[in-house]
Chains A and B, each alone.
Chain A
């Protein structure tokens, strides 16, 4: 999927260089191309290992399709970080994990205890997400807090409320348990027998969000304004853009996406857990990692949906292979390593290409 951002990306002025040099530049600066190549390389290598018996189970298309169940929440949160980081002025959202926890609990109450119908409960989750995101947006866009600080503070606050509102206990009522069916793999109509089963969540959560965001950012007027304030928000104001409102919308979007993830994760684990998004290192770190890997510049104004999606797939499929290669806990540990190394290499690559080729995708 070639998702164009804003106006077509600016082409660097051509100079006389060797063909190899220019191909190298294209690969390094066009993040999407690089990621696609990496996915092919990694998956190919894992399939090779699988074919030769190094892995504890088969790494095949069925497996790759099944693990997409984990790609959905990661990708959605990474999109949230994309929107917030692109908005510039040091934009970042450390509170997404805490929002997921808190909204999950509220969703759990509504659907699992108060007996709300599912669509209404989901709507509640989305609305609460918007409100929580708006708090971030208010602090950053209207008051002028650095985003790191504002979202650090709300991380603490939301995390705490999530834990306290049900006395640290998860909500596991029957309705919640039934939700699991929302996320399991299904066979597609017509072409179903020929391709692997795909988790339902891909169709009910990921693809709709992907389409909406791609349209909004790539073709929409909001997208132009977002990239404008991320590139130069003073100039944006002079050009008549409502900078504060645009930035506020970015953080609200992050909240809404967190709300969707909260519903998804509750369904996936058949339980509304107060630490759903904050256990261990939390969900914010992988989300930001995937965004940066996907080509989002931490300074703002640069970043494409397609890149982030590919980055999410790469990480998920890589992690899936690691789990099969190592046994038990060791697998999760090496996933940490992979995440850390990938982030550092991606960031160094960003730095290198900006210096050598003057910026790019």
Chain B
């Protein structure tokens, strides 16, 4: 198995979770992961100054952006859920005994896309601000201000919901 190949299989669940953070639909997430793996295997890794995970996240994200752009150009309906539909972030998938967790999942689903993916990359995947900036192709200052906004918004939303529930 190639070097990329041996690193790729263990990373699949995390790639799929990032894909869900981007598109929120399970089938589309599977397609994005498959496409990212295909691209990664076809092209030798160019940038060695970011982690393998960051490199793969960037390939997956670029694939998603390309797909949105192509669909827009062709005038096709974008087969992602409407903003009112939380898709994979529907709290109903969480057992009722864990109500707050369900509300947290939904609050994450309601965040703007760019804030949601940043929360995942830094707070969950533990990418450095710099690696996250590489994945998103953004200045590090933008990453930090956007991430701080996302964390504050999530804490406020869940805090309010929790207050109402208790």
Instruction: Please indicate whether A and B come from the same complex rather than being unrelated chains.
Output: no
